[in-house]
Structures are given as C-alpha cells and as structure tokens.
Amino acid sequence: MSEAEEEPVGADVPPEGAARRGPTWVILAVVAAALLVCCCSVVIGLAVSWSAGILGGR
C-alpha cells in the first residue's frame, strides 16, 4: 500500500459536534411528543367535562 492510498489518522471519527446533535434532536422530539399528548388530553378532558355539564355555570 502506498502512502497516497493510506487513510489519514482519525478519518473515520466523526466531528465532535455531530456526535451531540443526534441525542439533542431525540430529546427535543420526546419533549414535543409529551407536550402534544398532554395538550390533547387536556382538550379531550375539557370537552368531555363540558358535554357532561360539569363546566356549566348553572
């Protein structure tokens, strides 16, 4: 193998910043999904309460 064919040292190591981006996006996606579930649950709960007359002023 000639020197031109050899891979430089550390060529297969990804940049340090790229290693952190993956988990950050996963955490943000989990948080967004949790907020979506909570908001939908609140809306459904309010709709059921209102239709049952619990939130009525009378």
pLDDT at residue number 55? 81
With beta carbons less than 8 A apart as the criterion, state whether 21 and 12 touch.
no
Query: Given the structure tokens 């009378």, which residue do they identify?
Result: 58
DSSP state, 19?
Answer: H
Residues 2-55 have pLDDT tens digits of 555 666 666 666 666 655 567 899 999 999 999 999 999 999 999 999 999 888
Reported pTM = 0.54
Question: CA 44, CA 18: separation in Å to the nearest integer?
Answer: 40
Residues 3-17 have pLDDT tens digits of 556 666 666 666 666
